[in-house]
Amino acid sequence: MTKSVTHMGMSNVTKVITILLAAYNGEKYISQQIDSLLNQTFQNFIIYICDDNSSDSTNAIITEYARNHPEKIFISKNSENSGGAKNVFFQMIIAHKGDYVMLCDHDDVWLPDKIEVTYNKMIQMEAAYGFSTPLLVHTDLKVVDENLNTISESFKAAMNADFSKTSLRNQIIQNTLTGCTAMYNRALADLISVVPSFAVMHDWWLMLTVSAFGQIGTVEQQTILYRQHGKNEIGAKDVRTLKYKLNKLMHYEEIRKALNDTYLQAQSFLEVFKSKLTPDQIDFLTVYCDIPNHIKPVRWIMICRLGVLKNGISRKIANFIFI
């Protein structure tokens, strides 16, 4: 099913990548995505596709691919829709472990060397930190429209993201991971064994977990054509524009809800991992979850002392206004 590959000075070592592809009503784009996987420079992978009870021809399309690539593509279909990408990805993350795992959306296009570039970085990190350390690697993306015309050369730049902020204190308030760019190792995969009572998104939960227990590596290269279209569950916006900032202010309740969700997610994270967290991490999360129980001036003091401020001046100002 796989062949031996040589990377980073390693020889005759077979490493299999597990790709988890969540699909829902993706008939328009999913063939292009699967073709981009099959055309990767690194071919030691298997693909698990879960159709989240699509009502279009998605299941027929992926069934044909599985028939033509029985050694590489394995499919399943939920009898009922899970309620969103977060839920189906959690389902797959818990069900499918592997040496290395990558997440895949049905409507993007992977550039030919995406797996190879990400894998090489993972091998570097394992050499530095060891196989038993939970590790995650993620990359930048190129934002495109539904016809793959470039909208932004760099998702990282458009989102004003700081990939260097990898601590739990940074990630508890602001996720810097786009799930479809991620590769994580078995040590991290084994930590995700239950669906949390509350998580904003599956990729944010992955990032919280690795920031608490492992190491995060980044690749500045764009490895995906990140397609934006009318049916995206979560899209890419250029947060640097005045239009974006004014729109966010006009919908301030969304800002307040997003902040409140971070407290709920932190509480859920504390519940799931309390037995594994350090005393300092437990104290930090406990205090963070307690922020909403205080008057606003005290909240300002607490977030400053905890160091839980978002990246970028406008985001920091929004933190102080709407906390």
pLDDT one-digit tens code per residue, 14-35? 689 999 999 999 999 999 999 9
pLDDT of 237: 56
pLDDT of 251: 65
Q: What's the chain's average pLDDT?
A: 90
Q: Are 136 and 206 in contact (CB under 8 A)?
A: yes
pLDDT of 8: 39
- Whether residue 5 has pLDDT greater than 50: no
9 band by pLDDT with thresholds 50, 70 and 90: very low
How many Cα atoms sit within 13 Å of 199 on the Cβ side?
24
pTM of the model: 0.89
310 band by pLDDT with thresholds 50, 70 and 90: confident
pLDDT in tens, 188-213: 999 999 999 999 999 999 999 999 99
pLDDT of 313: 75
- Six-digit token pair at 283? 């104290």
- Whether residue 145 has pLDDT greater than 70: yes
Give the pairing of strands 135-144 and 150-152: antiparallel
| CA 232 – CA 222 distance, rounded (Å) | 20
pLDDT of 254: 84
321 band by pLDDT with thresholds 50, 70 and 90: confident
Identify the CA nearest to 174 among candidates 276, 281, 310, 76: 310
Percent of the chain exceeding pLDDT 70 equals 89
Q: Are 142 and 227 in contact (CB under 8 A)?
A: no
Domains defined along the chain, listed by start: 5-227 (3.90.550.10), 242-322 (no CATH)
The angle, 0 to 180 degrees and rounded to 10, between the axes of the packed helices 202-213 and 252-273 is 50
pLDDT of 249: 57
**Strand partners for 109:** 225
pLDDT in tens, 227-244: 998 655 455 555 555 555
Give the pairing of strands 100-105 and 17-23: parallel
